[in-house]
Amino acid sequence: MKSSLFLVILAMLGLCHCVFIDLNKTPTNGTKSSVITRNITITGLIPLTLPVIDANNSNSRALAHLSYLSAKAMQDINNDPRLLNGTHLTINAVNSQLLSPVLLGQALRQRTAGSVAFVGGLFELDGSPLSVISNVLQVASVATLSSDSALSDKSKFPMFVRFRPASEQQSNAIFDLFDFFYSRTRQLQWRQIGVVSTATPYGITLSNAFLNTAETRNFYITSYQQFLGVTSDNTNLAVRDITQQVTQLKESKARVFVSLMQTSDMQFLIENAIQYGMFAPDYVWLCADACATNILHLNFSFIPDKAVIVKEYFNAIPGFLGVASSAGYGTPSFTALVDAYQKQFNSTQRLGVYPAPLYDAYYAVAIALDSILKENPNAVINPLELAQAIRNVTFRGITGPIEFTEDGDRFPIYNIVNVWRGSQCPECLGADYGDVFIPVGTWTANDGLQMDHPVRFFDGTTRIPDLNLHQSFDYFDCTDGKKKTDETGKTVNLDKPSWGAKQIDADYYCDEYLDCDDMSDEPYDCVPSFKVLFIIYGIITGLLILFTIFVFVPFTLIFGFIIPRKRVRASSPLFLLIIIISGVFGIGSTYAWYGKPHSVACGFQPWLLGLAIVSMNSALIAKTFRIWRVFRSPFKVKVISNVELMVLWIILVAPVILILFLWTLVSTPTAKLEEHEGLEHLVCAGGGFTDSNAAGYAWFFILVGYQGLVMLLGILLTFAIRNVPSKFNEGKLIALSIYNITLLGAIVIPVFLVLRYIIPFVAWIIRTSVIIYVFTATLALQFIPKIWGVVLSDKFKDPRNQDGLEPRTDPEMTI
């Protein structure tokens, strides 16, 4: 920025015919000459056809009466002793809203009449005719609100000066503000922007510059939408439908939106965006300088059907951000101008950013003329020289420091403004009660962004909102045993359903898999319910085990060893005990499948069940083998001790121990997460060195194959003793036991393997029921006939020669 102090020093040294004017300070010495030797005329282009509105009516548009403001500027300039001594400045007003040919004709008459400069332009569109007028009529022109970047080309518009920086500068101010919040939150949503503009000269010009700057600065535009801006006669209100545009903005997932449009269009956008919930604590809106004004909360009386009432605006725009042209809020000169305006119109409404620059524009022309006339009081005003003199002007106006670039654009100074309250703001930094936007920072091209006060957001706090939101989702809390919803979509980190999981996906609830450690994801109200199933089967299993221990064990000990009975002794009491132990472990092995799969339980499952089955089968086969050996030669006495049979039992069981050992070593059964029907579940699977389910199945079928060979041996032995006397022949019972195990195994194993991942609940019932049935049926077949015989048939006595035969072996052979 050019130094004001530097220009003052140049003026003192006589190297610069200029004076530094500060409109905030009243002249303290000197009086203006009352002798007028020269009259100079400038033309004010102002929208004289705008409706005259009562500024005290909250349902009307609060605009300054620009004719009054022009006259006030001339009065102050002509009374300022620091400027144009001996020269009187006159303003002739021309309606800037006239059609271009008519406007050019009016301007030509003004130029012919001696006007040395044209000043004005309330709207963006006014910059183009002013630039044309400056070229065609060869006259210096000053626009107050035009920002089209094309007008910065000094080679094409050498006599055009404007009080608004080029659009790129405002874009940089906006992006610097977003980077300010990004640096503090590191949330990319501050760099992912949704943009909406009107299809007006202002909207098109600013949006083009904004999109280009976004690409240069690596900001991502998630969506750019455009709609028709309101016309001056409101003829397009009936055809304005922005449902599609607002929907696209909503679906873009952006959380930060920039609106590039006039105030009336922003109100229309607010009205529609409210319906989509886009003015909420998790959204941030920023308005460019044309709508970041203190009339944003007011209705327009000339569009009553489409305006939003004041109350709705206040509910919608708390936390609204804006980038506003510097308006000098709070400075003495601006306050004096406001007071004069309010007194003139008996109004409580303050001037906004639209009319204020017009006052400074007149002063800029006056200061430039003063610099020329001080060098040569009789100089003929050259338009090119005057335009350059205006570019060289530096003063402090009511809108802040005034300086221009070499291209004739005002050196950029923007206020960062923020809506701090709804209807009242006792802490608004001394700003006027009627203000909506409160300055919280400034931005200049040289110094960048300077934040002076914290920004308030939609929730009324200065806490930067969390914009890194995701879609809300339901989850299940294993700790509380309840389904809940994470509204933010990111507060809760979902756990995989491994051990220790606290929060899991809601889809795990009642899905027939146990995913919480305490089984709370499968409560009693699930249909079907694992908890109910475990209770029922747990009780049945426990009762069977207790019955086996407290009935079969005492019966075997008493009538096999303590009070020997031949019915029991003939069945080898030692091996009856082995069958009992095998049955207890076999039935009890089902508990390893209760609850959520655990690596320890998974490892025990094959050992408990596999050993129990082979142990029981081997005991039955050992008994059958003894009978076969004894009765193979009817005329020879053979003694087969329990030791020999135990060796046989060990020989039959040892391969299973080896298989289980190698299985555990190579493909250790473990609890692993596997995906089934789109969700991961903890299931028992193959681990170890192979870490493969296929290897686990291979070991399983090796074990089943060996069990099949053992049962085949039992079937052959049973067939071989089919003619042995019934007192010693348990072939039918053993055959029935082996048949049950073989048939059920052949049917159940493939059915279970198919159903375990399709209908886990049914698969669990089938597997558990079969295990319980196999062992319970075998125990029943072995013990119920003996108990019946000893208790009911023999009346606890030991009958002799029941079949007319005496055994030809000593008791040891039949033990």
Would you say residue 473 has pLDDT above 80? yes
- What are the DSSP calls for 743-772, one per residue? HHHHHHHHHHHHHTTT-HHHHHHHHHHHHH
Q: Could you give the dihedral angle defined by the CA atoms of residues 382, 385, 387 and 388, in that order, rounded to the nearest 10 degrees?
A: 180
d(CA 38, CA 85): 10
Which band of pLDDT confidence, cut at 50, 70 and 90, is reported for residue 479? very high
Q: How far is CA 565 from CA 252, 331, 791, in A?
A: 88, 119, 11
Contacting residues for 490 by C-beta, under 8 A, at least 6 apart: 468, 469, 470
Q: What angle do CA 471, 477, 478 make, to 5 degrees?
A: 150
Q: What is the pLDDT of residue 74?
A: 87
Rounded Cα distance between 583 and 619, Å, is 11
Residue 669 has pLDDT above 80, yes or no: yes
Distance of alpha carbon 69 from alpha carbon 47, whole angstroms: 12
CA distance 434 to 626: 110
Question: Nearest-5° angle of CA 372, CA 377, CA 380?
Answer: 70
Burial 563-595 (b: 16+ CB within 10 A, else e): eebbbbbbbbbbbbbbbbbbbbbbbbbbbbbbe
Contact (CB, 8 A) for 298 and 58: yes
pLDDT in tens, 506-526: 999 999 899 999 999 999 989
pLDDT score of 391 more than 60: yes
Could you write out the three-class secondary structure of 247-261? HHHHHCCCCEEEEEC
For residue 350, is pLDDT > 70? no
- d(C-alpha 815, C-alpha 565), whole Å: 11
Q: What is the mean pLDDT of the chain?
A: 80
- Least-confidence region, from 124-128, 313-317, 458-462, 790-794: 313-317
| Residue-wise pLDDT tens digits, 533-557 | 999 999 999 999 999 999 999 999 9
For the ranges 221-235, 368-382, 613-627, the lowest mean pLDDT is seen at 221-235
Segment 237-272, tens digit of pLDDT: 555 788 999 999 999 989 999 999 888 788 888 888
Tokens of 470: 């995701």
In this predicted structure, what is the pLDDT of residue 51? 42
Return contacts of 238-247, CB within 8 angstroms, 24+ apart.
240/268, 240/306, 242/268, 242/269, 242/272, 243/272, 245/196, 246/272, 246/273, 246/275, 246/276, 246/278, 247/276
Q: Which of 188-197, 500-509, 736-745 has the lowest mean pLDDT?
A: 736-745
164 band by pLDDT with thresholds 50, 70 and 90: confident
Mention every residue, 6+ apart, whose C-beta is less than 8 A from residue 411. Answer: 1, 2, 165, 401, 403, 404, 405, 444, 445
CA 591 to CA 534: how far, in whole Å?
9
Who wins on pLDDT, 773 or 571?
773
Contact, 733 vs 780, CB < 8 A? no
The helix (run of H) or strand (run of E) holding residue 160 is: strand 160-162
Tokens for 14, please give them.
């006589």
Q: Is 196 within 8 Å of 272 (Cβ atoms)?
A: no
d(CA 392, CA 403): 7
> Is 0.85 topped by the overall pTM?
no
CA contacts within 13 A on the Cβ side of 425: 23
Between these two residues, 801 and 229, which has the higher pLDDT value? 229
Residues 38-66: what's their mean pLDDT? 57
The percentage of residues in the chain with a pLDDT greater than 90, rounded to a whole number, is 31
- More confident call, 346 vs 566: 566
Q: pLDDT at position 808, please?
A: 43
Residue located via tokens 């001056």: 232
DSSP 8-state secondary structure symbol assigned to residue 511: S
Mean pLDDT (whole number) for 452-476: 87
Confidence of residue 61 (pLDDT cuts 50, 70, 90): very low
pLDDT given for residue 800 in this prediction: 58
Per-residue pLDDT, 106: 80
What's the average model confidence in pLDDT over 332-353?
69
The predicted structure's pLDDT at residue 664: 92
Q: State residue 53's pLDDT score.
A: 36
User: Of 199-213, 614-628, 675-689, where does mean pLDDT reach its minimum?
Assistant: 614-628
Angle between helices 573-588 and 599-632 in degrees, nearest 10:
160
Say what the pLDDT of residue 303 is.
40
Q: Determine the Cα angle at 248 with ends 245 and 252, to 5°.
A: 145
**3-class state of residue 324 by DSSP:** strand
Instruction: Write down the residue that tokens 């193979």 correspond to.
Output: 632
If pLDDT is split at 50, 70 and 90, which confidence band does 611 have?
A: very high
DSSP string, 184-218: HH--GGGGEEEEEEESSHHHHHHHHHHHHHHHHTT
Q: What is the DSSP letter of 460?
A: S
pLDDT at 567: 81
pLDDT, average across residues 100-112: 78
Tally Cβ neighbours within 10 Å of residue 315. Answer: 13
Task: For 42, list phi and psi in degrees, rounded to 5.
Answer: -125, 160
Higher pLDDT, 748 or 636: 748
End-to-end CA distance of the chain: 115
